Amino acid sequence: MPKIMDGRKLAEEIKAEVKKEVRLLNEHGIDVGLAVLLVGDNPASEQYFLAIMRASKNVGITVYKHKFPDTVTINELLNIINSLNTDERVNGILIFLPLPKRINARRVINSIAPEKDVDGLGAISVGRLAADESTFQLFKNNSHEISESMSSFIPCTPFGVIKFLEYYGVALKGKHAVVISKSLAVGKPLSMMLLAKEATVTVCHRETKNLSALTIQADIICTATGQQGIIKGDMVKDGVIVVDIGIKVLSDGRIVGDVDFDSVKDRASLITPVPGGVGPVTIAMLIENTARSAKRSDLLKSPLLM
């Protein structure tokens, strides 16, 4: 029988630690704030926003919501980010994607100050991850420990995946990990993090030929395509560890992942469910990064460092 990896349990543990951190910061007169930018009316984004609100409120982080109509201009977004970059109440800035096609999303994301880029998607944060300048965060026993030299964050979803695997005692060194996605938000940073952990990494995407020939060799499969049932039981080896990051909302309102859970679970030693797997851990990592940003900025302003 496979062991089901419980994302809600891990998320609760992370949030309990963040709550202690935030309380300590509050005692020193520091409030922690997260600004969230939403464009248009996307029901999935609203759901995600509500989940972030709940989690933040629970740990004492204030959320500043900035909602714009679909007709928003790029300059309006750049202006608000510019003011949030210098807003002392705001320690993290999150932009919900996708933005309308006519807006250059990379330009908008890159305008976030790296020290407030808590989802790690700006070019500076991505570059630091690729250059192994921020991967030390993956090796801390207690990732709440920060130093003033920490000037960027690593993306929440893949960071959460690594935490999830380690929480369940998975040693990554030397393992063959197959990542299905090369997206900037999930596949690419996750591949880099797995490499930093000295796994052997195969990255797959839409143009990958014969996906099952690769997945059948995997010790660990991490999939984030949004394609229901892309991984089936006959595509994996016995004992495989499966992390399903994909989310798809079906027409009847059910939420499913990429993995055909029923056929894969019989072969897997560890498997994440959807919902209740990676999703809650992603949110926990977002608020953890936000609290760390507040702690770091306070440290930098300490008279002892001046």
Ligand X SMILES: NC(=O)c1ccc[n+]([C@@H]2O[C@H](COP(=O)([O-])OP(=O)(O)OC[C@H]3O[C@@H](n4cnc5c(N)ncnc54)[C@H](OP(=O)(O)O)[C@@H]3O)[C@@H](O)[C@H]2O)c1
185 contacts ligand X (rule: CB under 6 A): yes
Please tell me the distance from the alpha carbon of residue 24 to that of residue 291, in angstroms, as a whole number: 11
Q: Does 245 bind ligand X (CB under 6 A)?
A: yes
Burial class (CB in 10 A: 0-12, 13-18, 19+), 42: middle
Count the residues of the shown chain that bind ligand X, applying the rule CB under 6 A.
25
Instruction: Report d(CA 185, CA 6) in Å as an integer.
Output: 22
User: Near ligand X by CB under 6 A, which window of 15-23, 35-43, 166-174, 220-228?
Assistant: 220-228
Helix 278-301 × helix 43-59 angle, to 10°:
50
Element (H, E) at 278: helix 278-301
Nearest distance, CB of residue 39 and ligand X, angstroms = 16
CB of 298 to ligand X, least distance (A): 28
Binding flag, residue 180, ligand X (CB under 6 A): yes
Q: Is 282 in the site for ligand X (CB under 6 A)?
A: yes
Query: Interface with ligand X includes 233 (CB under 6 A)?
Result: no
Amino acid present at 3: K
Residue 213, CA atoms < 13 Å, CB-side half-sphere: 3
Is residue 271 at the binding interface for ligand X, with CB under 6 A as the rule?
Answer: no
- Choose which of 19, 20, 176, 182 interacts with ligand X (CB under 6 A): 182
Which residue in the shown chain puts its C-beta closest to ligand X? 226
226 binding ligand X? (CB under 6 A): yes
Alpha-helical runs (H) found in 135-210: 156-167, 187-196
Pick the stretch among 88-96, 111-119, 166-174, 198-206 that binds ligand X (CB under 6 A).
198-206
Q: Quick one: 25 or 192, whose CB is closer to ligand X? A: 192
User: Which residue lies nearer to ligand X by CB, 82 or 212?
Assistant: 212
94 - beta bridge partners?
Answer: 36
Least CB distance from residue 243 to ligand X, whole Å? 10
How far apart (Å, rounded) are the C-alpha atoms in residues 231 and 212? Answer: 8
Cβ-contact 61, 104 below 8 angstroms:
no
Which positions lie near ligand X, rule CB under 6 A? Answer: 157, 180-183, 185-187, 204-208, 224-227, 230, 245-248, 278-279, 282
